[in-house]
Amino acid sequence: MKSETVRPPLWEINSRVVVFAAVGAALYAVLGLISFTIPGTQNVDIRPAFALVPFFGMRFGPIAGFFTGLVGNIVIDQIKGYGALTYWNWSLANALTGLIAGLLFALVVSRINKEAVRLVAVGVLTWVAMLIAFATTITDMWLQDLTLGAWAGVAFGPLLLSNTLVALILTPALDAVWEPISKRIGR
């Protein structure tokens, strides 16, 4: 008899969600400092720790993913000297990535039983969540007086390329490590 994974309601805020959201934000804030700015871009970093944002959204719910992305990115920006709210729209895009990834996981990936197919779906849906969420940074056109071409060429495009590696490799790797633990604890 196969044991079923217990999934709490998507929008429930309980102590478990609060704890995982706080842990996710703290991990992202600390590990996010290990990054490499892409030359010729508008402060776009290759940030391997970004994989934590969709992972926390997928595994601990969209609220935990949202909080992990928002608070983690605000803390990273503050520590790096940009100011907590200078790039508020990019912090919001991080948050939306966690939220959307959590929703997509609940709707699609959690129903897949084959490990390899599930991991591919995790990567693809992470990328889709990231694409949708970071498209909101088009607000830089008004906030920083950029043209569409400049925004796409020095901000959105480089971020999309750098985070594609994270989305397709690191997030599925985290999920592959977490899956057996999840089954063992019934979550």
In a domain, 133, yes or no: yes
Q: Looking at the whole model, is its pTM more than 0.95?
A: no
Give the model's pLDDT for residue 7.
59
In a domain, 9, yes or no: no
Domain CATH for 138 = 1.10.1760.20
In a domain, 106, yes or no: yes
Amino acid at 184: R
What DSSP designation does 155 have?
I
pLDDT in tens, 117-171: 999 999 999 999 999 999 999 998 888 888 999 999 888 988 888 888 888 999 9
**Residue-averaged pLDDT of the chain:** 89
Question: What domain count does the chain have?
Answer: 1
In a domain, 2, yes or no: no
pLDDT in tens, 2-38: 444 455 678 888 998 999 999 999 999 999 998 887 7
Q: At what angle do helices 15-31 and 52-60 cross, to 10 degrees?
A: 170
Query: Domain span at residue 140?
Result: 15-185
* Integer CA distances (angstroms), 136 to 36, 91, 93, 130, in order: 23, 11, 7, 10
